[in-house]
C-alpha cells in the first residue's frame, strides 16, 4: 500500500503507514538483544555486566543522530507541506552532512575520554577490561551509528518507510550472523559482539547514502546546498528532546547501575541489563509509532490542516492505549521464559530477574503516552515543550525516584522507581497537550 503523508488517515491507514517504522525499531532492538544473549551465554555474566555498564555512555553519542534525524525530518516534512520541495532537499542534504561532521569529531573525543569516563562511572577491576574492549571498537564507528539513526527518520519523511525497514532488517541480519561467528565460533567474546554491531551500523549508514545520492523515487535526494546555520540551529533545538532522552536515559542507567552495585552487586547490574534489553523491544513499538506518525503531523501542521491534526491525535491515543494494555499483560506472561533464556544458568540471578522485570513492566502502561507526547511536539516544531517533557520524564523524575524510593523499599524500590517517574511525566504531558490545543488546533 503506497500511502502519502498528505492523505486523510483512518486508523488502519495510520497503522499501515507506521508499521514499517515500528518493525524497524523492534528489529533494531531485537538484534541488540541477540548481542546480549551471545555475550551472556558464551562470555559469562561479568562480560555481560560490563557491556551493559558501558552501553549508556555509547548511547549518548548515538543520541545526537536521533537529534538530527527527528529535529531535521520535522523541519523537512513541514517544508514539503508548505510546497517548497527544492528547499526541503537542500535542508535534508545539509543536515546529513552536518551530522557526519559532528560524528567524526565525537569519535575522536570519545576515544580520548572512554577510559576515564568508565572509571568515573564506577566500573570495578573485573569489568573495566571488558568495557574497554567493547567500547573502543564502537567508538570508532560513532559517525556510522549517528548516520544510521538519522536516516531512520528521513526515510519516513521521504515517504519510503518500507525501504528504511528493509535496510534495518539487513543491518540486523548482519549483526546476528557475525555475532554467531565472532562470539560462538571464533570465541572473541565482547570484542566479537562489538565488531558485529559495528559492521551492522556501517551497513545501516552506507546503503542510505547511496540511495539518496541516486535518482530515487522518494521525496528526498542529495542536492547542492548553501550552509544555513539557522536551519541547523532549529534542527538541534527541535530535536533536543530526542537528544535529551538519550542523554538522560544514559545518565539514569549509570545511576541505576551505581545503585544496583550498592544494593545487589554485579547480579543487580546483570538483571538490569536483561530488563533494558527486553523493555527496549516493548518501548520500541511506541518509539516506532511516534517516528512513523511524526512526519504526518509535521506535514499537516505546515499545510495548516487542523482537521487532520485532530484526526491523527485521536487515533494515535487510541492505538497507544490498546497497545499499552496488551504489552503490560504480555510482559507478565513472558517474564519467566525471557529470564530463562538470558540468565537461566544461574538460579539466584534467574529468580531476581523474573521478580524485577514483572515490577518494571508495569511502567509500559504509561510510557507510550509520554514518548508520543514528546514526539508530537517535536513534529509540531516545538522543541522546547518536547524537551521539557523528555527532560522531566527521562532524567529528573527518574533520578529523584531511583535515589529516594530505594531508601524506603530497598532493592524493590529501584525496580518500582520507573513507574512513579512515568506517572509524574504523564501529568506533565497531559498539561502541555491541553495547554497548547488552541495554539495548534489539534483538539
The C-alpha angle 33, 39, 43, rounded to 5 degrees, equals: 165
Positive or negative, the CA dihedral 275, 277, 282, 288 is positive
pTM, two decimal places = 0.74
The grid coordinates of residue 270 equal: 546483570
Residue 60's CB: how many other CB atoms inside 10 A?
Answer: 19
Place of cell 515490577: 359
How many structural domains comprise the chain?
1
Domain containing 334 equals 11-440
- Evaluate whether residue 169 is within a structural domain: yes
- Evaluate whether residue 4 is within a structural domain: no
Half-sphere exposure of 388 (CA within 13 A, CB side): 12
Residue 113's CB: how many other CB atoms inside 10 A?
Answer: 12
Tell me what pLDDT residue 241 has. Answer: 67
- Evaluate whether residue 6 is within a structural domain: no
The grid coordinates of residue 187 equal: 570465541
- Evaluate whether residue 254 is within a structural domain: yes
Question: What span, in angstroms and rounded, lies between the C-alpha atoms of 158 and 226?
Answer: 21
Chain centroid to Cα 129, Å, comes to 27
Tell me what pLDDT residue 2 has. Answer: 66
- Evaluate whether residue 419 is within a structural domain: yes
DSSP, res 130: H
Tell me what pLDDT residue 366 has. Answer: 96
Tell me what pLDDT residue 311 has. Answer: 94
- Evaluate whether residue 1 is within a structural domain: no
Residues written for the chain: 443
Helix pair angle (383-391, 240-263), 10° resolution: 0
392, 425 Cβ separation under 8 angstroms: yes
Tell me what pLDDT residue 198 has. Answer: 94
Averaged pLDDT, groups of 10, the chain, 443 residues long: 77 90 81 77 79 78 75 86 91 93 91 87 80 92 90 86 88 91 91 92 95 91 92 84 72 82 81 84 90 89 90 95 95 88 81 92 95 92 87 89 92 93 96 93 87
Question: What span, in angstroms and rounded, lies between the C-alpha atoms of 338 and 170?
Answer: 25
Tell me what pLDDT residue 376 has. Answer: 93
Residues 225/227/229/235 CA torsion (nearest 10 deg): 40
- Evaluate whether residue 3 is within a structural domain: no
Q: Helical H runs in 214-305?
A: 229-238, 240-263, 266-302
Residue 358's CB: how many other CB atoms inside 10 A?
Answer: 16
- Evaluate whether residue 316 is within a structural domain: yes
The grid coordinates of residue 254 equal: 549509570
Tell me what pLDDT residue 195 has. Answer: 94
Place of cell 541489563: 273
Amino acid at each position: 500500500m503506497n500511502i502519502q503523508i498528505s492523505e486523510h488517515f483512518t486508523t488502519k491507514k495510520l497503522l499501515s503507514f507506521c508499521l514499517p517504522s515500528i518493525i524497524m525499531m523492534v528489529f533494531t532492538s531485537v538484534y541488540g538483544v541477540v548481542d546480549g544473549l551471545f555475550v551472556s551465554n558464551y562470555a559469562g555474566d561479568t562480560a555481560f555486566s560490563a557491556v551493559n555498564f558501558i552501553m549508556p555512555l555509547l548511547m549518548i553519542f548515538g543520541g545526537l543522530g536521533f537529534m538530527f534525524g527527528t529535529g531535521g525530518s520535522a523541519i523537512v516534512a513541514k517544508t514539503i507541506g508548505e510546497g517548497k520541495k527544492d528547499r526541503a532537499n537542500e535542508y535534508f542534504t545539509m543536515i546529513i552532512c552536518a551530522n557526519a561532521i559532528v560524528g567524526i569529531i565525537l569519535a575522536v573525543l570519545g576515544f580520548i575520554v572512554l577510559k576515564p569516563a568508565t572509571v568515573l562511572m564506577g566500573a570495578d577491576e573485573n569489568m573495566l577490561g571488558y568495557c574497554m574492549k567493547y567500547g573502543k571498537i564502537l567508538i570508532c564507528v560513532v559517525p556510522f551509528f549517528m548516520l544510521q539513526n538519522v536516516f531512520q527518520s528521513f526515510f519516513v519523511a521521504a515517504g519510503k518507510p518500507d525501504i528504511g525497514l528493509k535496510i534495518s532488517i539487513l543491518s540486523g541480519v548482519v549483526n546476528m550472523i557475525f555475532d554467531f561467528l565472532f562470539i560462538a565460533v571464533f570465541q572473541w567474546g565482547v570484542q566479537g559482539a562489538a565488531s558485529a554491531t559495528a559492521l551492522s551500523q556501517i551497513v545501516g549508514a552506507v546503503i542510505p547514502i547511496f540511495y539518496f545520492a541516486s535518482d530515487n523515487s522518494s521525496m528526498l535526494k542529495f542536492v547542492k546546498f548553501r550552509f544555513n546555520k539557522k536551519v541547523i540551529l532549529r534542527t538541534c533545538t527541535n530535536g533536543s528532546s530526542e537528544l535529551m532522552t538519550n542523554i538522560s536515559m544514559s545518565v539514569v542507567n549509570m545511576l541505576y547501575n551505581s545503585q544496583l552495585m550498592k544494593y545487589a552487586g554485579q547480579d543487580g547490574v546483570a538483571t538490569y541489563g536483561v530488563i533494558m534489553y527486553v523493555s527496549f523491544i516493548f518501548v520500541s513499538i511506541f518509539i516506532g509509532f511516534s517516528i512513523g506518525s511524526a512526519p504526518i503531523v509535521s506535514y499537516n501542521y505546515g499545510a495548516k490542516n487542523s482537521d487532520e491534526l485532530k484526526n491523527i491525535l485521536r487515533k494515535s491515543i487510541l492505538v497507544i492505549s490498546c497497545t499499552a494494555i496488551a504489552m503490560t499483560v504480555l510482559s507478565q506472561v513472558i517474564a519467566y521464559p525471557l529470564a530463562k533464556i538470558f540468565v537461566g544458568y544461574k538460579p539466584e540471578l534467574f529468580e531476581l530477574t523474573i521478580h524485577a522485570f514483572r515490577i518494571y513492566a508495569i511502567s509500559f502502561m504509561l510510557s507510550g503516552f509520554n514518548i508520543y507526547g514528546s514526539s508530537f511536539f517535536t513534529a509540531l516544531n516545538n522543541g522546547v515543550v518536547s524537551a521539557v517533557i523528555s527532560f522531566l520524564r527521562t532524567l529528573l523524575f527518574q533520578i529523584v525516584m531511583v535515589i529516594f524510593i530505594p531508601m524506603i523499599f530497598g532493592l524493590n524500590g529501584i525496580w518500582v522507581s520507573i513507574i512513579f517517574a512515568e506517572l509524574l511525566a504523564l501529568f506533565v504531558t497531559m498539561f502541555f497537550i491541553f495547554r497548547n490545543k488552541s495554539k495548534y488546533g489539534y483538539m
